[in-house]
């Protein structure tokens, strides 16, 4: 028995003894009140008796003592019984194990309504515009899963891969697609490198590198993003969406790589490999443009004829700041200049070089740059 149990038992026994004693006293008191008692007058000496008699004669007759009424007897018995009940209750309480009880609810007046709990603050309701945007995003992202033929087990990965930094309200860049883009870029490079190695066993390192660079360049990834219909599913801030972010090549290419990274984390290497093969397999077998870009081809052609390096010059820049259009000219001695237009200076220079190669008869058709 533990020390606490011993103390509880001792308290219980003491309380029981006090209870029994109170009950016994109550019983004896009741018997004493109901049973008449006989009292014997004390014997006195003759002189004392004579003196007492004389005093009694002087005072007059003594009134007899009034007996206690039945009501008083019952009240005394009830009082003793109540004390006994209190002692018994104390004994039972001491013997019972100690338990923690919850604080009692405050008493309410009869007929009064019970106090109402404090109401929880209602969450701020979404505006109709936000509800429409959320519904549109859900439909677009679900359609994307159908197009890429992959169902995400962790939906949060897909959501992050489609979230531009301008749409992040908290958590910073970690909650945007940028980390997944970094991962997807390297997964894409690895899968395509393996595909090229297996598909072109006779190609040397230089040719494989040129093919890889052509397949993973920004424009190629943006083209794949359009085939996936990623633009409709991208989550953008209001200003970015209003400025044409859904069709911007840089954003489309980055989100495309982020989706590949998300598929890799959710389904492993095999799932990512199937996705890349689905959208890059045909592009690998039939390149969209020559393996050497027009600028490289024009420079090699000029050097082979003893001409200086082609000179490129910006002629004009038009369009808004976030989506400009460049016009670039390229010149060689004793050759008619050629011009090209593109959304970046690089693409405009490639277009100008291709136009000049076409003029000198090296290219028959202007390639898609």
CATH number of residue 299's parent domain: 3.30.160.20
- 324 and 274 both lie in a single domain: no
**pLDDT above 80 (res 176):** yes
- 301 and 279 both lie in a single domain: no
161 part of a folded domain: yes
- 242 and 339 both lie in a single domain: no
Asked if residues 308 and 333 have their Cβ atoms less than 8 Å apart, the reply is yes
What pLDDT score does 89 carry? 72
What pLDDT score does 70 carry? 67
- 257 and 350 both lie in a single domain: no
Q: What is the mean pLDDT of residues 178-195?
A: 96
| CA 34 to mean position of chain CA atoms | 82
Among all residues, which ones are annotated catalytic?
Answer: 185, 257
**pLDDT above 90 (res 331):** yes
- 230 and 260 both lie in a single domain: yes
227 Cβ contact partners less than 8 Å away, ≥ 6 residues apart: 147, 279
- 137 and 281 both lie in a single domain: yes
Q: Give the chain as a 3 state SS string.
A: CCHHHHHHHHHHHHHHHHHHHHHHHHHHHHHHHHCCCCCCCCCCCHHHHHHHHHHHHHHCCCCCCCCCCHHHHHHHHHHHHHHHHHHHHHHHHHHCCCCCCCCCCCCCCCCCCCCCCCCCCCCCCCCHHHHHHHHHHHHHHHHHHHHHCCCCCCHHHHHHHCECHHHCCCCHHHHCCHHHHHHHHHHHHHHHHHHHHHHCCCCCHHHHHHHHHHHHCHHHHHHHHHHHCCHHHCECCHHHHHCCHHHCHHHHHHHHHHHHHHHHHHHCHHHHHHHHHHHHHHHHHCCCCCCCCHHHHHHHHHHHCCCCCCEEEEEEEECCCCCCEEEEEEECCCCCCEEEEECCHHHHHHHHHHHHHHHCCCCCCCCCC
Q: What is the mean pLDDT of residues 81-107?
A: 61
112 part of a folded domain: no
- 212 and 350 both lie in a single domain: no
Higher-confidence residue: 106 or 271? Answer: 271
79 part of a folded domain: no
What pLDDT score does 39 carry? 46
Tell me: the pLDDT tens digits for 347-364? 999 999 999 988 888 775
336 part of a folded domain: yes
**pLDDT above 50 (res 344):** yes
- 144 and 208 both lie in a single domain: yes
Percent over 90 (pLDDT), the chain: 40
Q: What is the mean pLDDT of residues 205-226?
A: 91
369 part of a folded domain: no
Q: Which domain holds residue 178?
A: 130-285
Final residue before a domain boundary, out of 254, 285, 316: 285
Asked if residues 110 and 23 have their Cβ atoms less than 8 Å apart, the reply is no
- 279 and 315 both lie in a single domain: no
Final residue before a domain boundary, out of 236, 261, 285: 285
CATH at residue 198: 1.10.1520.10
What pLDDT score does 118 carry? 55
336: left (phi over 0), alpha (psi -120 to 50) or beta: beta
Q: What is the mean pLDDT of residues 29-56?
A: 50
- 300 and 277 both lie in a single domain: no
Q: What is the mean pLDDT of residues 264-275?
A: 97
Find where tokens 């509800």 sit: 131
Tell me: the pLDDT tens digits for 297-326? 898 888 888 889 999 999 999 988 888 999
Asked if residues 218 and 249 have their Cβ atoms less than 8 Å apart, the reply is yes
**pLDDT above 60 (res 149):** yes
Phi, psi of 60 (to 5 degrees): 95, 180
Look over the chain and give the mean of its residue pLDDT values, rounded to a whole number: 78
Final residue before a domain boundary, out of 265, 285, 305: 285
What pLDDT score does 37 carry? 46
Token pair for 263: 């598929």
- 321 and 275 both lie in a single domain: no
| CA 16 to mean position of chain CA atoms | 60
**Residues 268-295, buried b or exposed e (16+ Cβ, 10 A)?**
eeebbbebbebbbeebbeeeebeeebbb
Q: What is the mean pLDDT of residues 217-238?
A: 93
User: Is pTM beyond 0.75 here?
Assistant: no
Tell me: the pLDDT tens digits for 119-134? 555 556 667 777 888 8
109 part of a folded domain: no
Calculate the dihedral angle through the C-alpha atoms of 195, 197, 200, 205, rounding to the nearest 10 degrees: 130
Phi, psi of 315 (to 5 degrees): -95, -40
- 259 and 305 both lie in a single domain: no
The number of distinct structural domains making up the chain is 2
40 part of a folded domain: no
304 Cβ contact partners less than 8 Å away, ≥ 6 residues apart: none
Higher-confidence residue: 322 or 68? Answer: 322
262 part of a folded domain: yes
**Res. 366 pLDDT band, cuts 50 70 90:** very low
């Amino acid at each position: 028995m533990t020390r606490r149990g011993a103390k509880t038992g001792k308290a219980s026994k003491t309380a029981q003894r006090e209870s029994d004693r109170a009950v016994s006293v109550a019983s004896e008191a009741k018997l004493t009140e109901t049973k008449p008692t006989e009292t014997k007058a004390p014997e006195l000496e003759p002189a004392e008796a004579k003196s007492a008699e004389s005093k009694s004669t002087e005072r007059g007759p003594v009134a007899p003592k009034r007996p206690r009424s039945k009501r008083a007897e019952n009240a005394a018995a009830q009082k003793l019984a109540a004390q006994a009940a209190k002692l018994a209750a104390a004994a039972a309480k001491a013997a019972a194990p100690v338990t923690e009880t919850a604080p009692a609810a405050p008493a309410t007046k009869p007929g009064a309504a019970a106090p109402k709990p404090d109401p929880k603050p209602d969450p701020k309701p979404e505006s109709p515009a936000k509800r429409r945007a959320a519904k549109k995003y859900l439909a677009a992202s679900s359609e994307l899963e159908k197009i890429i033929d992959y169902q995400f087990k962790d939906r949060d990965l897909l959501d992050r891969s489609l979230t531009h930094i301008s749409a992040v309200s908290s958590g910073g860049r970690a909650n945007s697609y940028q980390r997944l883009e970094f991962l997807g870029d390297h997964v894409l490079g690895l899968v395509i490198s393996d595909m090229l190695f297996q598909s072109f066993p006779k190609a040397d390192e230089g040719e494989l590198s040129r093919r890889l660079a052509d397949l993973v360049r920004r424009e190629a990834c943006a083209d794949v993003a359009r085939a996936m219909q990623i633009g409709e599913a991208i989550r953008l801030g209001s200003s970015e969406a209003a400025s044409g972010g859904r069709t911007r090549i840089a954003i489309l290419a980055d989100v495309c790589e982020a989706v590949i990274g998300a598929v890799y984390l959710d389904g492993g290497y095999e799932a990512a490999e199937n996705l890349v093969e689905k959208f890059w397999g045909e592009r690998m077998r039939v390149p969209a443009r020559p393996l050497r870009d027009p600028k490289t081809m024009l420079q090699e052609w000029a050097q082979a004829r003893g001409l200086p390096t082609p000179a490129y010059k910006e002629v004009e820049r038009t369009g808004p700041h976030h989506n400009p259009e460049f016009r670039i000219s390229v010149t060689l001695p004793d050759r008619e200049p050629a011009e090209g237009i593109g959304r970046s200076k690089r693409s405009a220079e490639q277009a100008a070089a291709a136009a000049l190669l076409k003029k000198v008869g090296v290219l028959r058709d202007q390639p898609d740059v």
